[in-house]
Amino acid sequence: MKENVKEILLTEEQIAARVKELGAQLTAEYEGKDLVVVALLKGCAWFVTDLTRAMDLPMRVDFMVASSYGDGTTTSGKVNVKLDLSCDIEGKHVLLVDDIIDSGVTFAAISDMLKERKPASLKTVALCDKAARRINGLDADYVGFVIPDAFIVGYGLDYAQEYRNLPYIGVLDPKVYA
């Protein structure tokens, strides 16, 4: 597994420090608000568990499974919801969490879907942002790291469902998907 990581982009320590900062910022943002954290599985699982533990607030945490990727490295452009929320978000402040914003298609589609349910507010946070690849001009409200345009794995991010359990984020050797 590790031999296919060409370069470590973000160490375990760098990720932990940045997640703590984001947690503090979000604690200030959502103080006194009825918050529902919506995590987009599976990639976000590692990030959201650390992020919510860095947020000193009452909250609900719920999950959605949405996918636009096959086993390739670029988006198919369509977002399928395979598992929906188990709670009602009407009138709640919703924080949508994902591991990475790339084309922006996932956040755009899920945000549109959730807005129809009339939340009091809807904001987005992504641990990583491949800003150069955006196709719809949509940015996340909170971003952990702006990263270069390379296919990355680890800390939840997968290639063909593998590598999620690496504790750091690394650039996958292109020979793996060539």
104 sits near Mg ion (criterion: CB under 5 A): no
CB of 38: closest distance to ligand IMP in angstroms? Answer: 13
Q: How many CB atoms lie within 10 A of CB 147?
A: 20
4/34 with CB nearer ligand IMP: 4
Quote the tokens at residue 20: 């703590």
Q: For residues 168 and 178, what is the distance between their CA atoms, to the nearest angstrom?
A: 23
Q: Is 112 a catalytic residue?
A: no
Span interacting with Mg ion, options 11-19, 37-45, 87-95, 113-121, rule CB under 5 A: 37-45
Q: Which residues pair with 171 in a beta bridge?
A: 7, 152
List b or e across 121-139, with b for residues whose CB sees 16 or more CB atoms inside 10 angstroms.
ebbbbbbbbbbeebeeeee
CB of 102: closest distance to ligand IMP in angstroms? Answer: 3
102 sits near ligand IMP (criterion: CB under 6 A): yes
Q: Is the dihedral of CA 132, 135, 137, 141 positive or negative?
A: negative
7/56 with CB nearer ligand IMP: 7
Q: How many CB atoms lie within 10 A of CB 88?
A: 11
Residue from 10, 39, 43, 75 touching Mg ion (CB under 5 A): that is 43
Q: Which residues pair with 142 in a beta bridge?
A: 125
Active-site residue among 98, 99, 102, 158?
102
Size of the site for Mg ion (CB under 5 A): 1
Quote the tokens at residue 64: 């959605």
Residues 112-151 vs ligand IMP: string with x where CB under 6 A?
---------------------------------------x
Backbone φ and ψ for 42, nearest 5 degrees, come out as -95, -25
- Name the residues annotated as catalytic: 102
Interface residues with Mg ion (CB under 5 A)?
A: 43
